[in-house]
Amino acid sequence: MMIFQGSHILSVSQFDRQAIATILATSALMAPYASRKKRCCVLDGAILSNLFFEPSTRTRVSFGTAFNLLGGYVRETVGEENSSLSKGESLYDTAQVISGYSDVIAMRHPKMHSVTEFATGSSVPVINGGDGANEHPTQALLDLFTIQSEMMQFGKSLDNLNIVLMGDLKHGRTVHSLSKLLSLYNNIKITMVAPDALQMPDSVISTLTNAGHEVVLTDTMAGNLSSDVIYQTRIQQERFASKDEAELYRGHFSLNRDIYQKYCRENTVIMHPLPRDSRPEANELDTDLNDLDNLAIFRQAQNGVLVRMALFALTLGVEDQLSQYEKPVNWYTNK
Ligand code: CP
């Protein structure tokens, strides 16, 4: 059984189904606090250091929000150029220092495996907020939480699902982590729709096939989108050698209402880790889908707060004390 208290959260590979069930169940307990029905100050006095050495909107802010919602305080560093990493300080030394100031650390960095390297120098739990093209474990957990809650309305669970992953599957760390998590469930069919040059890494495909799941690789949307969930990803321009190379693939797999109606099931749920590239030339997930009930992308982003609250509660060992530290909400809220 996984011991969460004091553990780093670096890769989805450290979880089994039981650990994931614990995270998802603890995430659900956070809903009244995230929706401002009640407050919880179980982490009053605790400090999160939120270190983001690569751009982020929702991961960074939702880590901070999650910690604040449990009563804790947040200190931030944003951008490598604003930290002493730019003066040659190592990740190990940075971790030694920052962990002395903090109770837990969340970190994003552009280099693969950098968060694991950082964690070797940390005396407090480190949570990976994305390390280059490698992994994004908290995103995969919130994706799984979203799939579970979206499928519940159709009487389905995380087993026996038919899922389409589409877009830049080579560089998209969220789909790497999500595929590994899905491999733990039963009888999953995953269709990977991508240009050959941007297909899923072999190591991720092997994780699925070795676990007995059906994997279909294709570069064609027609006939391949009938599924429970379509998970669209952005062309990760920042991971290409040049912008021109990224341009070669932009707009290849754009999903819009016409294509949805033509190729998807009536109830196919659309997910995307966001940000979606809304520039006209990108056209990857059209805004004409915005009023579709099955577009789950913003519910998905909100679920990030619940899952990150759960990970803080578990790694700091307070998941059983939430109700003891509840308070009323005394301000106007329309959540
Ligand atoms: N999904 C995600 O990681 O978004 P940000 O880059 O905005 O954090």
pLDDT of residue 279: 80
pLDDT of residue 244: 85
Question: pTM score, two decimals?
Answer: 0.95
Q: Which residues, at least 6 apart from 131, have a Cβ–Cβ distance to it below 8 Å?
A: 108, 109, 111, 112, 113, 114, 115, 116, 173
Cα–Cα–Cα angle for 248, 252, 254, rounded to 5 degrees: 140
User: CB of 273 closer than 6 A to ligand 1?
Assistant: yes
Nearest CA owner, ligand 1 atom 3: 59
pLDDT tens sequence across 28-60 = 999 999 999 999 999 999 999 999 999 999 999
Could you tell me the distance, in angstroms and rounded to a whole number, from the CA of residue 233 to the centre of ligand 1? 12
Nearest CA owner, ligand 1 atom 5: 56
The Cα 132–Cα 256 span in angstroms is 29
User: CB of 58 closer than 6 A to ligand 1?
Assistant: yes
Averaged over successive runs of 10 residues, the pLDDT of the chain (335 residues) comes to 97 97 98 98 98 97 98 97 96 98 98 97 98 94 98 97 96 93 98 95 97 97 94 88 83 89 95 89 85 97 98 98 97 91
Q: 115 φ, ψ to 5°?
A: -70, -35
Ligand 1 probe mutation, 50, 52, 58, most atoms within 8 A of CB = 58
User: CB of 139 closer than 6 A to ligand 1?
Assistant: yes
User: CB of 56 closer than 6 A to ligand 1?
Assistant: yes
Could you tell me the distance, in angstroms and rounded to a whole number, from the CA of residue 135 to the centre of ligand 1? 12
**Cis ω before 32 (30° cut-off from 0):** no
pLDDT of residue 246: 84
Pairing of strands 39-40, 326-327: antiparallel
Q: Spell out the domains of the chain, with CATH numbers in brackets.
A: 12-135+304-327 (3.40.50.1370), 137-298 (3.40.50.1370)
User: CB of 318 closer than 6 A to ligand 1?
Assistant: no
pLDDT of residue 237: 83
pLDDT of residue 239: 84
pLDDT of residue 313: 98
Query: And the tokens for 163?
Result: 């899922």
8 A C-beta contact, residue 170 and residue 198: yes
The Cα 122–Cα 101 span in angstroms is 11
Could you tell me the distance, in angstroms and rounded to a whole number, from the CA of residue 63 to the centre of ligand 1? 11
User: CB of 274 closer than 6 A to ligand 1?
Assistant: yes
pLDDT of residue 66: 98
